[in-house]
Amino acid sequence: MPKYYQEAAAAGAKLLCFPESFSYVGANLGDSVKIAEPLDGPIMQGYCSLARESQIWLSLGGFQEKASDDSHLRNTHVIVDDTGKIRSKYSKIHLFDVDVPGGMVYKESSFTEAGKDVVAVDSPCGRLGLTVCYDLRFPEMYECLRFHHQAQVLLVPSAFTKITGQAHWEILLRARAIESQCYVIAAAQAGRHNDKRESYGDSLIIDPWGTIVGRLPDKLSTGIAVADINFSYIESVRMKMPIDQQRKPINFWKASSI
């Protein structure tokens, strides 16, 4: 078993979360289309075997899944159970088409087929809400996962850019945990991958009050962070501040003028 599976197993982990593009980061955007595979291909099946051998559930965020044509992939977050069975999959809805201030221009939609459906799934670590990276900037998706799909743990595997990550990564993650009253687990790519690509972010585990309970510093690049998911703490935060019952319908589109 690989080193980090052993460490996770020794720590008693029931779920191991990987970052976006966990199995491959290309030098140029779009390179990953060439290595994209279906979920029953050798790469994903290899991870399924590791889940079975280690008896740990896996969150494999940002797998380069082969799409319906050869010039596109789907950026898919796959949940594998401890017997090696794929339990759920979610394809990234919000694609990173962004001119990063002082950085590169990204156009993820040029090689990625966007997903359409919001997905949650039960696990030994609670009900998981599946998202990927840039989704983090669209809070209504997290609201939907929490208040419509009853998520308890929100997963945000990512490969944030250095510039946007330094400015926004931690604060956005803490905000999602606080406003949804969920645990947030955000596995991050970190460090320099090659001449052209660099990612940023501490891998973080945040509790439903917004406290950081697990951190793997960006500077270490590899390793694991471990934390407990405390279900009674989720209940207590939600009971004392019952925002789910206090939510009022807001007419989004009706602006009033003086």
Ligand X SMILES: O=C(O)CNC(=O)[C@H](CS)NC(=O)CCC(=O)C(=O)O
Residue 26 in contact with ligand X, rule: CB under 6 A: yes
Residue 134 in contact with ligand X, rule: CB under 6 A: yes
Q: Min. distance of Cβ 215 from ligand X in angstroms?
A: 19
- Total binding residues for ligand X by CB under 6 A? 16
- Between the CA of residue 76 and those of 22, 117, 151, what are the distances in Å? 11, 12, 19
Nearest residue to ligand X by CB is 164
Supply angle C-alpha 134, 58, 33, rounded to 5: 50
CB–CB of 204/184 below 8 Å? Answer: yes
Contact pick of 84, 87, 106, 175 for ligand X (by CB under 6 A): 106
Beta strand residue intervals within the chain, DSSP E:
15-18, 57-66, 73-80, 86-91, 97-99, 105-107, 119-123, 126-130, 153-155, 183-186, 191-192, 198-199, 203-206, 212-216
Burial class (CB in 10 A: 0-12, 13-18, 19+), 142: buried
Residue 90 in contact with ligand X, rule: CB under 6 A: no
How far apart are the C-alpha atoms of 249 and 171, rounded to whole Å? 26
Of residues 5 and 134, the one with the C-beta less far from ligand X? 134
Residue 191 in contact with ligand X, rule: CB under 6 A: no
Annotation marks residue 92 as catalytic = yes
Which residue in 108, 133, 162, 198 is the catalytic one? 133
Q: Min. distance of Cβ 248 from ligand X in angstroms?
A: 29
Annotation marks residue 170 as catalytic = no
Annotation marks residue 20 as catalytic = yes
Which residue in 92, 108, 162, 198 is the catalytic one? 92
Site for ligand X in 29-58 (CB under 6 A): 29, 32
Looking up tokens 């599946």 gives: 130
Per-residue mark of binding to ligand X, 2-21 (x: CB under 6 A): ------------------xx
Contact pick of 13, 25, 120, 186 for ligand X (by CB under 6 A): 25
How far apart are the C-alpha atoms of 105 and 154, rounded to whole Å? 28
Residue 159 in contact with ligand X, rule: CB under 6 A: yes
Q: Min. distance of Cβ 51 from ligand X in angstroms?
A: 22
* Nearest Cα residue to 155 out of 16, 1, 13, 14: 16
Looking at the annotation, which residues are catalytic? 20, 92, 133
